[in-house]
Amino acid sequence: MGQFESDEYGVFGGLFLSPENFKEADIILQSIPYESATSGKKGTSFAGSALRVVSKDMQVVSRTGIDLSSIKVADMGNIIINPVDGEQSRINIYNSMKYLLDNSSAPVISIGGDHSITFPLLQALTEFGSIGVVWFDAHRDLLDNYLNSKFSHGSSLRRSVELANINPTNILLLGTRYFTKEEEKFVQDQGIKELKQSELEQQNNPIKMISQKIQELASRVDFLYISIDIDGLDPAYAPGTGTPVSGGMSSSQFMQIINKITVPIRAFDIVEVSPPLDKSGITVKAMLAILTEILAQIKVTHNI
């Protein structure tokens, strides 16, 4: 279970439920302050705490008018990690996620940390059935080895593809725009689905197209997992991240995508937000806004 100092708790617009009561929650939140697998500038370990600080300002009505005031959000706090022991940290992340999945059917939202945290989160979820993965990111994260590690944030999806119950054809890359030859070959060889940012820009109705692709994916698997790297947004909307790539979506466009997902999602993560790099506070506020829309999506699709 998560563990952190009580004064870090946020109120999340008054929706807060203490962690000991998490089995009563509609939605479970945990944060993972691990950033040792990143190649860019550091700071993602502070994202969970920064989110809690601004959570008092969270809207309880979504941008599309959905009333969230009756939702109960259990904040489990920070998973205990060891910044110099990646293997033990992955075990801790896996164990925390497995515990939550074993004891509650509520959707789980994990706040990173760098994108390497997604692999052990998915590892836990694969024990419950087949998984479809939507990977919103400027990068593909399919490198076999990066930073002399098979578990860096550039290799997280590559390791996830190797898990039982994740078929490569049930992965949808979304908004990608930074490519390597190695990853291009892997995508083609494995049959991974991809909607590049440049391709989306050519569509008359990209939001509808993405919604349809996610619905198709949901029909083939037991559970859906959505991983949100904040650098999937254009740096103008999310400058506080270690590996920004120009030419991405606006925060508004991405929230429209969340709003149009009409199928239940078992778990989400939001990663790579670095508060020390977020001088204006825009990125943390974008994370909070995305979280609000996720709550709205969950309320609708889970009939809360």
User: Token digits for 188?
Assistant: 């083609």
- Residue 170 near residue 261, CB atoms below 8 Å: no
Output the pLDDT for position 4.
Answer: 38
pLDDT at 9: 56
Burial class (CB in 10 A: 0-12, 13-18, 19+), 265: buried
Nearest to 195 by CA among 254, 155, 237, 241: 254
Strands (E), 105-255: 108-112, 131-136, 171-176, 193-196, 223-229
Query: What CATH number has the domain spanning 6-301?
Result: 3.40.800.10
- The answer to whether 283 and 239 have CB atoms below 8 angstroms apart is yes
Select from 18, 24, 14, 13 the least CA-distant residue to 1. Answer: 18
| Pick from 139, 110, 136: nearest CA to 125 | 110
The pLDDT value recorded for residue 1 is 39
Q: What is the DSSP letter of 232?
A: G
pLDDT per position in the chain (304 positions), as tens? 343 334 445 689 888 888 888 999 999 999 999 999 887 788 999 999 999 999 988 999 999 999 999 999 999 999 999 989 999 999 999 999 999 999 999 999 999 999 999 999 999 999 999 999 999 999 999 999 988 899 999 999 999 999 999 999 999 999 999 999 999 999 999 999 999 999 999 999 999 999 999 999 999 999 999 999 999 999 999 999 999 999 999 999 999 999 999 999 999 999 999 999 999 999 999 999 999 999 999 999 999 9
Please list the helix, strand and coil fractions of the chain in percent, rounded to the nearest 5, in that order.
40, 20, 40
State residue 16's pLDDT score: 82
Q: What is the pTM of this model?
A: 0.95
